[in-house]
Amino acid sequence: MTNPMPDPFAGQPDWAPRPPRPVAPTPAVLGGDLRGRRVIVGLPGLGWRADLRADDRVVQGSRTYVPVMSEQEWYRAEAERTEVFAPLVPVERVWVEELGMAHTAKTGGDVLSRLVSMDEPPRREPTPALDAGALTGRRVVHVDDGEERRDLRAVTELHTGDEGDICARVATEVDWYRWAWSGKAPQTMEIPVHLLWVE
């Protein structure tokens, strides 16, 4: 007789939404369309850089490269239809941020439970906004009725909202970055803390 898979949501209150799916990096060499995808670049054993976007692959000679730029440059290029500089990164040094399957999170706060492999970028489990520390500027996910709304940034810390709920204000990423390059303040939404997760 086999043991059934443990329910990663056992013990969760009925009123609380299930957490969003984690970010699971996948090697870009496995294929698929890359234009506009969120990517991580780096070298195993050295380190990783995230908050980047990719463009379509480029083949030069026998090598395949991925044009990679900061998210702010990506959004500016898309919103204003301008060209931006994108360094070419060898495809084997690029991982695509995919959404993984939820599973039972690691428990315990000791250092050993936090260790990761240096062979690939680590999987990122979502953290409830209430437990995430500082929020402003961080990538967040709004979960409501089982729907995950991503590509959002927190623009405030937790506060008491107009209805008396504990909440944070968020903006779409394009508005967040437009704020930086144009000075135009973003439109924001007030999200109750129990519906908000840090990606």
Q: For 112-140, how does the pLDDT look when each residue is reduced to its tens digit (9 = 90+)?
A: 878 888 899 999 999 999 999 999 999 99
Mean pLDDT across the chain, nearest whole number? 89
Percent of the chain with pLDDT over 90: 77
- Residue 55 carries which DSSP code? -
Confidence of residue 4 (pLDDT cuts 50, 70, 90): low
Q: Where are the alpha helices (DSSP H) in the chain?
A: 71-80, 173-182
- Residue 8's pLDDT is 46
Residue (of 76, 71, 85) closest to 184 by Cα position: 76
Q: Where are the alpha helices (DSSP H) in 130-197?
A: 173-182
Whole-angstrom distance, CA of residue 141 vs CA of residue 98: 14
Contact 34, 57 (CB under 8 A): yes
- Residue 109's pLDDT is 66
Whole-angstrom distance, CA of residue 59 vs CA of residue 181: 32
Residues contacting residue 3 through CB under 8 Å, at least 6 positions apart: none
For the record, the structure tokens of 165 come out as: 């709920």
pLDDT score of 10 more than 60: no
- The structure's pTM equals 0.85
